[in-house]
A and B are shown apart, each in its own frame.
Chain A
């Protein structure tokens, strides 16, 4: 059977976020100093724009290959989305505590900023992975 729009878009989110932020973290880690540098902000902004482009192109592709033109979201999609967001919220909560610990125990803003960014990235990955899992394994 063909996947629906939502499942395909979650795959794109998973791959896009992994690729873009995987590249970002490979460039900024280990840190060169206690604070975020201007180059890192430029790199982050450029990759954010790239991620938005990936989302837009991905959404267009998902619509193009969805030959059944199903309605955007039904009750099952909503339940799966909520389950993904619930799991993502656990990661975000944990990330907030890690960022607070970084604020207390590290010098500069590098680790606080990247603990927050890392928790956002991981929570997005968890949300998408949960949804893909629910679509593939049944819900």
Chain B
């Protein structure tokens, strides 16, 4: 799936999808759930919390 297609399905811009992939932006819970829903997986399969050192 392309960034553009995922962005369309989730309702954000392609730049936001790119920023999420590059760990430059932490999405809202709503967007995070929508992304997990698109891939039909649970939230923690898409996002893992990594505390900053």
Contacts and interface: CB of A to CB of B under 8 A. Distances in A.
A74 B24 contact: no
A104 interface: no
Contact of A71 (B13, B22, B28): B13
Secondary structure type dominating chain A contacts: loop
B13 A74 contact: yes
Given A75-B31, A76-B25, A4 B14 contact: yes
A3 B25 contact: no
A138 B14 contact: no
Contacts, number: 46
A71 B13 CA distance: 6
A76 B18 CA distance: 12
A104 B37 CA distance: 62
Contacts of A7: 15
B28 A75 contact: yes
Interface residues of A, number: 15
A68 interface: yes
A70 B13 contact: yes
Contacts of A4: 13-15
Given A71-B11, A75-B27, A1 B18 contact: yes
A105 interface: no
